[in-house]
Amino acid sequence: MIEVKENASKLDMGVVKEGRYPLVPFFTLYMILFLYLPLLPHSVHCQCTKTPIIFNFGDSNSDTGGYADGVGLNFAPPNGRTYFHQPARRLSDGRLMIDFLCESLNTDYLTPYLNSLGPNFTNGVNFAIIGSATLPRYVPFSLFVQVSQFLRFRSRSPALMLNGYKDLVGNEDFENALYTIDIGQNDLAASFDNLTYSQVIERIPSFITEIKNAIWNIYEKGGKKFWVHNTGPLGCLPQKLALLARNATELDEHGCLQPLNNAAKTFNAQLRVLCEQLRRELINVTIVYVDIYSIKYDLIANASNYGFESPLMACCGNGGPPYNYNANINCGRTGYTVCHEGSKFISWDGVHYTEAANAIFTSKILSTHYSTPQLSFNFFCNNM
């Protein structure tokens, strides 16, 4: 069921109105917690003797407020309705995978690097920004820029702590920290806007090179533990299906665009080779490659087995079935429609995922079944 919000709060022209969306009913919240949180291996934090330190680099899949802090605005309801009960500077109805990861490690949510209002960086920093890509290199907030921000933080934090500053990260913690990277989706998405399939494929090595450079730069400053996500099934996003699906022969058996997914697979294959190469080249370093593509595609292809409905349709958007996506009426803008709370949708707004989907993604990530190499949960801990 889709609920129409004709007079919804707007993000247009920077006008954002909060607090107008009702709180999640207790029963609905209880069912979400009951159904999805048991999937997460909460025992992870029991093996950590020190607070885990995480430095995250990426795009909207893991941005916990960097974009909102950078441009000075929040997102409109119904974003954030499921867990936070209000817009929480994330493009989702609730928590992201990085949030669930922090919960599983019994540590606070990561503070964005651009947060200037009482930030707490004792458990790491989130450099991810909505819309980020590997290229162009010098455009905020590319992966290169994010790593440059980290390098500045790396050089300043220990010195400031010696001068009495708190809520920062000590020198040895940088060596024991977990460095998570989830980027590349926007590179592929933007490439398909004006390039042919073959031209997109030709650009992929340049994206991979930027990720390689990022890992090397962090390694040279003491980074030892890297957690690298590949990119998801781009051709299954309602946005891409609504804008690009023109020929039924381009769709696979689950309704996803094969050219876009094939490009994602090509990107992932090259990223996997990069991780294998860096394991040989870097000394005393662990690099875990996580197959996010298979995790997400499995949920979309077998949605009913997980209790989800309409796997290729956005919960929040405009246009109704089959995709409920309208580039001119995004989630939160006047005229949007939104599924009822408690509905089992995978896509939140046509590009980003719901909290329910993110919970399942995280449970599979932490199972280590989709990771190479498969490591125990002690890998996350700051015990080394």
Nearest to 79 by CA among 333, 369, 368: 333
Structure tokens given for 40: 């997460």
Distance CA 187, CA 139 (A): 13
350 DSSP 8-state letter: S
Point out the catalytic residue in the list 60, 62, 92, 142: 60
Point out the catalytic residue in the list 59, 93, 187, 352: 352
Distance CA 278, CA 242 (A): 38
Q: How many CB atoms lie within 10 A of CB 327?
A: 12
Q: How many CB atoms lie within 10 A of CB 7?
A: 9
Taking a C-beta distance cutoff of 8 angstroms, is the pair 375, 286 a contact? yes
Taking a C-beta distance cutoff of 8 angstroms, is the pair 150, 55 a contact? yes
Is 45 annotated as catalytic?
Answer: no
324 DSSP 8-state letter: -
Taking a C-beta distance cutoff of 8 angstroms, is the pair 63, 110 a contact? no
Identify any residues that bridge with 251 across adjacent strands, giving them in sequence order. 257
209 DSSP 8-state letter: H
Give the helix ranges, DSSP H, for 177-251.
185-194, 197-219, 238-244
Taking a C-beta distance cutoff of 8 angstroms, is the pair 264, 296 a contact? no
Structure tokens given for 21: 């969306």
Is 352 annotated as catalytic?
Answer: yes
Taking a C-beta distance cutoff of 8 angstroms, is the pair 112, 141 a contact? no
Point out the catalytic residue in the list 45, 349, 363, 371: 349
Taking a C-beta distance cutoff of 8 angstroms, is the pair 275, 372 a contact? yes
Taking a C-beta distance cutoff of 8 angstroms, is the pair 76, 8 a contact? yes
Fill in the amino acid letter for 137.
R
Is 349 annotated as catalytic?
Answer: yes
- Residue 238 CB-density burial (10 A; 0-12 exposed, 13-18 middle, 19+ buried): buried
Residue carrying structure tokens 């885990």: 52
Identify any residues that bridge with 3 across adjacent strands, giving them in sequence order. 338
Which residues does the annotation mark as catalytic? 60, 349, 352
